[in-house]
Amino acid sequence: MWTTIVNIFPYAILFTIPLLITALGGLFSERSGVVNIGLEGLMVIGAFAGSYTVFKLQDKYPNEGWVLWMGLLVAVAAGILFSLLHAFASINLSADQVISGTAINMIAGALTIFMARNMTGSGNIRVPGFSPFNVPVLSKIPILGPLIFTKTYWTTWLILAVLAVSSFVLYKSAFGLRLRACGEHPHAAEAAGVNVKKMRYFGVMISGAFAGLGGAIIILTYSGEFSGTVAGLGFLALAALIFGQWRPLGVLAATLFFGFATTVANVSQVIPSLAVVPPIILKVFPYVVTLLALVLFSKTSRAPKAAGEPYDPGKR
């Protein structure tokens, strides 16, 4: 049993990280008052931008580590640029945010494969990725060492740092307070001198940056190949956001839960004690649990009150 846990733990964390950063991006967007179901598409954009960059740079600079980091950076930039489409539609034009998000998903899926096919013909881009390493000293700690500090990736620590900074910014900085106010009561925020539109732009752009980063991390850690989709992980991140009740630590717990659930479902066939469970149960588990959570939290939901509503300064 212990060896099984030790074996699947690094994979579960690996799978959790892209989900975590994307859900965290969604958190900033929704906390500012803009629902973003385009997370899936923004992840695809990040995945494409990341693999495109690494693919192009690796010819000139083979085996150089900074190429991968450059891939992540370009993915962040692409995510921000693309999220502006959603921001413009939902903030300036008061468009239906769900429809605009759906459009983002569709444009991302179609456009990236179109571009990738122009490059490689098949539409798939294979790239090298980060290598895992054992943290010196810390990996020798009993129990925690083998679980958390072995076979770990630099990206994992980067994202955990981003999580810590995000929590701080959201709850301890003026920026975070203003952002949250825009999602709860935009008119009060405006009256207090906050530029609601600007804050919402920031929220959506952060979600674009984080989702793009998440998409690129998938490619550069466990997937290794861009194929035009992230297989519903963006929607799962959205579920994690709700499950985590729009709080950073809640999102961390929810994504860890989904990360483990998915990893267990993926490896269940080779673990005797799990092979007896029909795989369908493990596969639908995260989604059914989210549905149940939606019902359970329906009375006490902490969803940002103004999320999804276009801000109309004339409406009091």
Partner 1 sequence: MNNRIVISLCAVVFGLLAGAVLMLATGHNAGSGYSYLFEGGLKNAERIGNTLATATPLILSGLSVAFAFRTGLFNIGVAGQLLVGGFCASVVGLGLDLPKVLLLPVMLIVGAAGGALWAVVPGLLKARFNVHEVVSSIMMNWVGFWTVYYGVQSLIKNPSSETESKQLPEAATLKAAWLTDLFHGSYINLGLLVAVVIVLVIAFIINKTTFGYELKAVGHNRDAAEYAGIAVNRSIVYSMAISGAIAGLGGVVMYAGNASNIQIGILPSQGFDGIAVSLLGANNPFGVLLSAIFFGLLYSGRGFMNAMTDIPPEIADSIIAIIIYFSATSILIERLLRRFKRRRANAKIAAVQEGKVKKSYVDNDR
Residues found near partner 1 in the complex (CB under 8 A): 37, 85, 88-89, 93-96, 98-100, 102-107, 109-111, 113-115, 117-118, 123, 232, 235-236, 238-239, 242, 278-280, 283-284, 287-288, 290-291, 294-295, 298
User: Please, what is the minimum distance in Å from the beta carbon of residue 160 to partner 1?
Assistant: 27
- What is the spatial distance between Cα 57 and Cα 36, in angstroms, rounded to a whole number? 32
- What is the spatial distance between Cα 64 and Cα 228, in angstroms, rounded to a whole number? 26
Which of 37, 78 has the CB closer to partner 1? 37
Which of 10, 228 has the CB closer to partner 1? 228
User: Please, what is the minimum distance in Å from the beta carbon of residue 197 to partner 1?
Assistant: 15
Q: Are 38 and 176 in contact (CB under 8 A)?
A: no
- What is the spatial distance between Cα 197 and Cα 177, in angstroms, rounded to a whole number? 15
- What is the spatial distance between Cα 282 and Cα 268, in angstroms, rounded to a whole number? 8
Residue 226 backbone dihedrals phi, psi, to 5 degrees: -85, 130
User: Please, what is the minimum distance in Å from the beta carbon of residue 278 to partner 1?
Assistant: 7
User: Please, what is the minimum distance in Å from the beta carbon of residue 89 to partner 1?
Assistant: 5
For residue 192, give the amino acid letter. Answer: A
Helical spans, DSSP H, in 194-314: 196-218, 233-243, 248-267, 272-275, 279-296
Of 29, 4, 20, which Cα lies nearest the Cα of 221?
20
Instruction: Give the DSSP per-residue string, 81-143.
Output: HHHHHHHIIIIIS---HHHHHHHHHHHHHHHHHHHHHHHHSSS-EE------BPPTTGGGSTT
Which of 97, 156 has the CB closer to partner 1? 97
3-state secondary structure of 226: strand
- What is the spatial distance between Cα 189 and Cα 284, in angstroms, rounded to a whole number? 41
Residue 126 backbone dihedrals phi, psi, to 5 degrees: -95, 130
User: Please, what is the minimum distance in Å from the beta carbon of residue 139 to partner 1?
Assistant: 36
Which of 81, 95 has the CB closer to partner 1? 95
User: Please, what is the minimum distance in Å from the beta carbon of residue 274 to partner 1?
Assistant: 16
User: Please, what is the minimum distance in Å from the beta carbon of residue 95 to partner 1?
Assistant: 5
Which of 169, 293 has the CB closer to partner 1? 293
Which of 164, 296 has the CB closer to partner 1? 296
User: Please, what is the minimum distance in Å from the beta carbon of residue 19 to partner 1?
Assistant: 14
Q: Are 313 and 198 in contact (CB under 8 A)?
A: no
Which of 49, 68 has the CB closer to partner 1? 49
- What is the spatial distance between Cα 35 and Cα 308, in angstroms, rounded to a whole number? 5
- What is the spatial distance between Cα 50 and Cα 45, in angstroms, rounded to a whole number? 8
